[in-house]
Structure 1
């Protein structure tokens, strides 16, 4: 009887072992799914966005080549400029060695600015020349190559995830990072074949060689940069920090930086934050936390306040919010530096805020660090009333202020007239010294924010 009484013990032990095995297997399944979802959010989404923008660039370039209508071309070129800027913005958020994609970023900048240059020639009543059409044709071919490389990179990362086993999970991020860098390096080789553009614009060759003036002079070590990166996130919030290998062309980029992969406390390695700290001056140049935002819980106004508070906390004083955009659950805010009563658009910082919990998920100070310096701002030679006379008579003005705007190698001091013309919002910039009309921007407002063209 005693023997039969104990016969159930092996059965119970086997049952428990089976249950434990099932739980373990289920947890491994969930873990694998978590990695898949995370990598999809971090890489696939960014790839898809960049690719979609460049596809639109390619299509609109083809249309511009076929069109003989100046009005239609102005529309197409405006769209090309917007899509190129958006592609560059998404590319900057990828967790890559940015020294390895300098040619690509330069290409996107030039596409945007060349489009703007051609818009100005059309507005002056000029048609496209045969040389300009040839340049557009070359840009269209380069954008086609861009799309092919991005498609191949996206497919390879997706394929690598299909064959991932539990034992390989710890190497998933490393493997995908290798695929990512390899494919973008291939893209760089293609971009290197693109012809140089020669035209008068802020991204023309003579100005692309501009050196940053807002970094400071001290050279920082890797260890010092690592501490700066940790402090930026918050020492108590960082569980692990590692360094990305710098590209071989690191010395050629605008702002050579140390790049870091930061794992926040109480999160898995798939939720890494990426950051660049300048080798000169030890400034945080950019930060990206490419996590998905599933639900919007806060307003854009609340997000803007969080962005402003973040900048102040980081010691970035006198930063004024200007334009914003809501994209994929994230609020993107532009802040310009203000010197007394003059807004300086050359010194721009971009802050991205997640609209689910207000977390800062993106920071880009490239433009600020390239341009910020003590300036000898001239006194206006025109009064506000005299500048107003340079503006169309039936332009209804809402506000006026002084601003410095970037115009190639120049930074003219202007009166900024915001107002309406025939139901649409515009900004007109009149040079406060010469009285010249420097710029006209149209403001597009919708449920996603405010854009200027």
Structure 2
């Protein structure tokens, strides 16, 4: 299929294995050192590496395959290390319970590293492709090689058994927050037939060959219906909707994508009109990416002049005929709600003075983002460049602190 997508998946797996190995070694240093002064920076590295590993996971085609326990483990590890690293360890050293947690994290992260190396070796020995993994998951093809899939399932099962690790009473990962909010959705529970109808209406498929509806209601996971639609051309479209309220969480069409005939701008019009027709109005395009013949657009709503980044929706458009072939709306469904949005304490001019003097600002806006503690904070968003490289910088509108910075790849 797409060479660029295959390269992205390979890079994601390489990042995951590299950062997990680095994470394991950094945890080993943390339990070996005797200096409280050095422990803080070491735990900061653990926090940074855990989120870097999560980013690697996010680049893999694992949407349809359970890997949430591992992502949750990495998120909790990041939250624990960040919370511990940012306190004064000279005045408030590690408790015996926290020391035990670090030792357990070192041991358990080593187990994950070993399993990832087995998967890595299998990929090399069998010359496996990640695009084949994506197709095998999407089509449930039993004949295709499932070595990678089985390897990741085994890792997630092992991580699910890491019950002895105490991350502290106040540790709540972003994944847990999302699951809790999706589990608390309001509305009547819909029946399988209604889920089927909603999926067909949402996708616009009028004459499917076959539609299969599966109820998924596992303990600790929000109840959903997974709908698999066999299209007339033999490809599959997969849809997930919540059982309560029938809200769409994601959709993916697995058809082959031919040579692009539409521009990025044409694709954005298709994506925006699709959102409008499905009831998502007031959305702004905040990011555009292109992978060969597919364009990916990220949208966020703006309310009262504030861009709501926690409520993002991602739309994937095939540029061969302008068809929407993917939607990711879990963040929107989980987070979008009536908020009492705060007022900025700092002026935009005062916030801009906190920027690097070499950063040339091109756009300014108020936005709501989630910080590293998974708290929603009001920020000033500055988009600009240092030399020819584009960045997105978020400055806290109350404290003036730099909350986060992202590198931007503009699509030409």
TM-score range, shorter chain: 0.7 to 0.9
The residue aligned with 2:294 is: 330
**C-alpha distance in 2, partners of 1:423/1:275?**
40
2:347 to 373, 378, 383: 383
Aligned-pair Cα RMSD in Å: 4.4
The residue aligned with 1:369 is: 333
2:162 aligned with 1:198, yes or no? no
8 A Cα contact 1:78 1:116, kept in partner = no
Q: How does 1:269-288 map to 2 (within 5 A)?
A: 271-288=235-252
**C-alpha distance in 1, partners of 2:105/2:289?**
31
> TM-score scaled to structure 1, two decimals?
0.67
Q: Alignment partner of 2:311: what SS?
A: strand
**C-alpha distance in 2, partners of 1:86/1:244?**
29
Deviation at 1:182, TM superposition (A): 6.8
C-alpha change, 1:138 and 1:424, in structure 2 (3 Å) is farther
**C-alpha distance in 2, partners of 1:282/1:136?**
42
Q: Alignment partner of 1:387: what SS?
A: helix
Q: Alignment partner of 1:252: what SS?
A: coil
> TM-score scaled to structure 2, two decimals?
0.72
2:8 aligned with 1:56, yes or no? no
Larger Rg: 1
8 A Cα contact 1:50 1:87, kept in partner = no
2:367 aligned with 1:403, yes or no? yes
The residue aligned with 2:307 is: 343
2:224 aligned with 1:257, yes or no? yes
The residue aligned with 1:317 is: 281
C-alpha change, 1:250 and 1:424, in structure 2 (3 Å) is same
Q: How does 1:87-236 map to 2 (within 5 A)?
A: 87-88=57-58, 90-94=60-64, 96=65, 100-107=66-73, 117=82, 135=105, 138-146=108-116, 148=118, 173=140, 175=142, 185-194=153-162, 196=165, 198=167, 203=173, 207=177, 210-212=180-182, 215-236=185-206
8 A Cα contact 1:275 1:286, kept in partner = yes
8 A Cα contact 1:214 1:371, kept in partner = no
2:392 to 401, 416, 427: 427
8 A Cα contact 2:8 2:59, kept in partner = no
Deviation at 1:109, TM superposition (A): 5.0
Q: Deviations over 1:44-90 (max 9, x none)?
A: x999975762343222333466689999x999987874563353353
C-alpha change, 1:312 and 1:206, in structure 2 (3 Å) is closer
**C-alpha distance in 1, partners of 2:187/2:143?**
36
2:233 aligned with 1:267, yes or no? yes
Q: Deviations over 1:250-275 (max 9, x none)?
A: 2422x3210011012x322xx11111
**C-alpha distance in 2, partners of 1:411/1:79?**
22
8 A Cα contact 1:88 1:109, kept in partner = no
Q: Alignment partner of 1:267: what SS?
A: coil
Q: Deviations over 1:236-289 (max 9, x none)?
A: 24332112363xx62422x3210011012x322xx1111111001101111112
Deviation at 1:198, TM superposition (A): 3.5
**C-alpha distance in 2, partners of 1:206/1:257?**
16
**C-alpha distance in 2, partners of 1:56/1:367?**
24
C-alpha change, 1:272 and 1:209, in structure 2 (3 Å) is closer
Structure 1 unpaired stretches of 5+: 1-40, 122-128, 159-171
Structure 2 unpaired stretches of 5+: 30-37, 87-93, 129-138
Matched pairs, number = 372
Q: How does 1:427-446 map to 2 (within 5 A)?
A: 427-432=392-397, 434-445=398-409
Deviation at 1:339, TM superposition (A): 1.0
**C-alpha distance in 1, partners of 2:257/2:52?**
24
8 A Cα contact 1:211 1:370, kept in partner = yes
Judging by fraction of residues, say which structure has more helix. Answer: 1
C-alpha change, 1:446 and 1:141, in structure 2 (3 Å) is farther
Q: Deviations over 1:331-379 (max 9, x none)?
A: 2221111113110001011111123222211111111111000111122
8 A Cα contact 1:54 1:147, kept in partner = no
Q: Alignment partner of 1:377: what SS?
A: coil
Q: Alignment partner of 1:139: what SS?
A: helix
The residue aligned with 1:244 is: 214
C-alpha change, 1:309 and 1:211, in structure 2 (3 Å) is same
